[in-house]
């Protein structure tokens, strides 16, 4: 059974700091991994989708890496801003190429001005 863990559950940093959020999963036979952002009371916004054949994806100040063999992904946020404050979630397929996704519980990020 696929399980997804995100550590830490919460993180508080000063503005301008570079930071890394972690996501680990138990079944490494996945086709992709997706990172999301969720603001309070809102839906999830897709940030990055990494295919199993890729090792990383970049979008602006965000960089996500994927290491299937170790069952880990990281989301790197450069030069953090108060507007980056949100909960960040990762999700992987239940197994292999399953259409069902399993989500981590998220990391709540607070960037202090």
Partner 1 sequence: DGGITQSPKYLFRKEGQNVTLSCEQNLNHDAMYWYRQDPGQGLRLIYYSQIVNDFQKGDIAEGYSVSREKKESFPLTVTSAQKNPTAFYLCASLRSSGTLNTGELFFGEGSRLTVL
Residue 32 C-beta: closest distance to partner 1, Å = 6
Which one, 52 or 85, has the nearer CB to partner 1?
Answer: 52
In whole angstroms, the minimum distance from the beta carbon of 17 to partner 1 comes to 26
φ and ψ at residue 97, rounded to 5 degrees: -105, 30
- The DSSP H or E segment spanning 50 is strand 44-51
- By CB under 8 A, name the binding residues for partner 1: 31-32, 34, 36, 41-46, 49, 51, 89, 91, 93, 96-101, 103-106
Identity of the residue, 47 or 111, whose beta carbon is nearer to partner 1 in the bound complex? 47
User: Of 50, 25, 26, whose CA–CA distance to 36 is shortest?
Assistant: 50
Alpha carbon distance, N-terminus to C-terminus of the chain:
41
């Amino acid at each position: 059974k696929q399980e997804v863990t995100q550590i830490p559950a919460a993180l508080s940093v000063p503005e301008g700091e570079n930071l890394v959020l972690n996501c680990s999963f138990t079944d490494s036979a996945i086709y992709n991994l997706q990172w999301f952002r969720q603001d309070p009371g809102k839906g999830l916004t897709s940030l990055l989708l990494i295919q199993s054949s890729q090792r990383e994806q970049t979008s602006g100040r965000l960089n996500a890496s994927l290491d299937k063999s170790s069952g880990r992904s990281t989301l790197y946020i450069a030069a953090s801003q108060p507007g980056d404050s949100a909960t960040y979630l990762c999700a992987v397929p239940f197994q292999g190429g399953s259409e069902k996704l399993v989500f981590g519980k998220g990391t709540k990020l607070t960037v202090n001005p």
